[in-house]
Amino acid sequence: MPSIAPRPYCQTDADNLVASGLHPVLARIYAARGVRATSQIEHELSALLPFPQMKNAVEMARLLADAIQAGKRLLIIADYDTDGATACAVAIRALREFGATVDYLVPNRFEYGYGLTPEIVRLAANSFPRQGKPDILITVDNGISSVAGVEEARKLGLEVLITDHHLPGDELPDAACIVNPSQPGCDFPSKNLAGVGVIFYVMLALRAELRKREMFAGREEPNFGKLLDLVALGTVADVVKLDDNNRILVHQGLKRIRAGRACPGINALLLVAGRKPDKASTYDLGFVVGPRLNAAGRLDDMALGIECLLADSEEQAFSMAQQLDTLNRERREIESTMQDQALSALERIEVSENYTLSLYDPDWHQGVIGILASRLKDKYHRPVIAFAKGNGGELKGSGRSIRGLHLRDALDLVAKRKPHLLQKFGGHAFAAGLTIQEQHFEEFSATFEEIAPSLLTPADLERIIESDGSLETPAMNLNLAKALTEQVWGQGFPQPAFQETFAVESQRVVGEKHLRLRLGKAGQVFDGILFFHSEPLPDRINAIYRLDVNEYNGSQNLQLMIEYWEEAS
């Protein structure tokens, strides 16, 4: 059973926020998320970190401006997830507005793997069949580890510009220019940009460079506010930390979507899922739109997702969104089967004794192992790596981690201890990918488990639910619920959740699998909902809940969304 802990905060910071005019509850919430001044929760674009602070952004802008003026052919090399798809769409839309000759290539993940590999470079060299090979390859959301791929490109006479946000290895590729806030020597204050955020910054720098060259004389300068819906989607879907800078990008993107000014592709993906664009939230970006785009890269070809985001026609976008929705349903069915198989296998393991879980089944689908690892990580609160069969005796692994174990660093430690095990790997603190030989699965699993105790303590393996404490009954109102919905919440800036003991006044099953509740506290009764639970609750519960605005028949009411409960003593 998880334990519940109050989220700590600095009382001085909270007091300062109250003095600045914030409601005491909001001040407490923000202080617990590291906010010390109200400027950190303002969302104007003018507050964005300036692009010149990012290493090589100005230099890459000069190279791209030279290429555009010389009429060179540019080819975007995209990744096959939502971050990669949105980054590609941002690059294509912006560069075409600048008059560039540009196209994109998103390699099939099952055939070519991840990143700018030599095989992908050779494929890219033939991607402009009517115009000759491209002159410049531009990576988005990949490339920082592509040492061999960049070398192959140079042999073929192709220049490479890398934009990425993943952590670099010991050796950087010999590219013409690299923009990555995580690369050595980059002092950009936010290390949490998604791949789409990095290319957006490069496009801002390019626009400034073209402005200096008077490329917009006699015509309107491109307004990149219209790209922010794509930036918001990729940022949320990639689960990067929503620091101050990322929250501005996401807030502005959501503002466009809610105002009906999103690209046709995002609107269509919301509509096929039965969501209203004018009510769009970070939940919709991360759990509704993102998975439908990811389904293309997981099961088929991410080109379908990119074309949906590039579509200018609502009719075309909706047709592609329907195809993506169908793929997502297929993905869910595959995932459900794989999860059942994994849980069955884990019945034979005493999970509590393990620091890590490494799982492999020859029938598992490469495109879904990342989701499976995430589900199992959430269930068992352990770092999990799931493997599927690749080509030529290889296993492709996708891992998800918990706080305390930096997954890429852990894999680096495995590679140093057993150099023959990992053919390649890369990723973040909480997510990583790797390739091993099938014959090495058991040895990898044992080595990963061996190094984990040096990185994790037994306390790290205990699941803790953090709460923002109790609310006084008068504060449990619709106005506070509305105020909370106006903020951007997500990874590293969690949505507020409160803890109370309630009397369960009434309960009934709705939709065959949810509980509609009436919850009593201090003489007041509140509406509540507990999703995906149909068994009766005890008379009194200790609950973790969120304040929610329930809209029905044109009216708005306060609703408590129960996220966790246990019987109250």
Asked if residue 289 lies in contact with residue 273, where contact means CB atoms within 8 angstroms, the answer is yes
Query: Percentage of the chain surpassing pLDDT 70?
Result: 99
In the numeric block, which tokens belong to residue 284?
Answer: 């919709």
Q: Which residues contact 372 (CB under 8 A, 6 or more apart)?
A: 335, 338, 339, 342, 359, 364, 386
What is the pLDDT, as a whole number, of residue 518?
97
pLDDT confidence bin for 129, thresholds 50/70/90: low
What is the pLDDT, as a whole number, of residue 128?
63
In the numeric block, which tokens belong to residue 364?
Answer: 């598992």
| pLDDT of 345 above 90 | no
pLDDT confidence bin for 12, thresholds 50/70/90: very high
- Which amino acid makes up residue 149? G
Query: Can you spell out the DSSP letters for 280-340?
Result: --HHHIIIIIHHHHHHHHHHS-THHHHHHHH---HHHHHHHHHHHHHHHHHHHHHHHHHHH
Asked if residue 37 lies in contact with residue 13, where contact means CB atoms within 8 angstroms, the answer is no
Q: Which residue has the tokens 């402009």?
A: 128
What is the pLDDT, as a whole number, of residue 285?
97
Tell me which of 3.40.50.2000, 3.40.50.1370, 3.90.1640.30, 3.20.10.10 is the CATH number of domain 50-325. 3.90.1640.30
What is the pLDDT, as a whole number, of residue 130?
55
**Total Cβ atoms within 10 A of residue 509:** 13
Domains 50-325 and 468-567 alike in fold: no
What is the pLDDT, as a whole number, of residue 353?
86
* CA nearest neighbour of 506 among 492, 517, 493, 494: 517
- Residue-wise burial string across 242-272, b where 16 or more C-beta atoms lie within 10 A, e elsewhere: bbbbbbbbbbbbbbbbbeeebbbbbbbbbbb
Q: How far is CA 276 from CA 38, 285, 307, 554, in A?
A: 30, 12, 22, 14
Asked if residue 445 lies in contact with residue 458, where contact means CB atoms within 8 angstroms, the answer is no
What is the pLDDT, as a whole number, of residue 421?
95
Neighbour order of strands in the sheet with 431-437: 357-360, 384-389, 394-400, 431-437, 424-427
**Total Cβ atoms within 10 A of residue 305:** 33
Q: Which residues contact 364 (CB under 8 A, 6 or more apart)?
A: 338, 341, 372, 386, 387, 388, 389
pLDDT per residue as tens digits for the range 32-41: 999 999 999 9
Asked if residue 111 lies in contact with residue 93, where contact means CB atoms within 8 angstroms, the answer is no
Q: Which residue has the tokens 């890590």?
A: 356
Q: Which CATH class is domain 468-567?
A: mainly beta
* CA nearest neighbour of 383 among 341, 361, 414, 348: 414
pLDDT per residue as tens digits for the range 48-96: 999 999 999 999 999 999 999 999 999 999 988 999 999 999 999 999 9
Query: Can you spell out the DSSP letters for 463-510?
Result: -EEEE-----GGG-SHHHHHHHHTS--BTTBPPP-EEEEEEEEEEEEE
| pLDDT of 430 above 80 | yes
For the chain, domain boundaries = 50-325, 349-461, 468-567
d(Cα 211, Cα 221) in Å, to the nearest integer?
Answer: 8
Asked if residue 230 lies in contact with residue 254, where contact means CB atoms within 8 angstroms, the answer is no
How, if at all, do strands 394-400 and 424-427 pair?
unpaired
What is the pLDDT, as a whole number, of residue 347?
83
Over residues 354-375, mean pLDDT: 93
> Cα–Cα–Cα angle for 385, 388, 391, nearest 5°?
130
What is the pLDDT, as a whole number, of residue 249?
98
Query: Can you spell out the DSSP letters for 224-242?
Result: GGGGHHHHHHHHHHTT---
What is the pLDDT, as a whole number, of residue 131?
62
pLDDT per residue as tens digits for the range 201-233: 999 999 999 999 999 988 889 999 999 999 999
**What is the dotted CATH code of the domain comprising 349-461?**
3.10.310.30
d(Cα 289, Cα 14) in Å, to the nearest integer?
Answer: 35
CB-based burial label for 89 (10 Å; 0-12, 13-18, 19+): buried
pLDDT per residue as tens digits for the range 389-418: 998 899 999 999 998 999 999 999 999 999
pLDDT per residue as tens digits for the range 270-294: 999 999 999 999 999 999 999 999 9
pLDDT per residue as tens digits for the range 531-554: 999 999 999 999 999 999 998 888
What is the pLDDT, as a whole number, of residue 214?
95
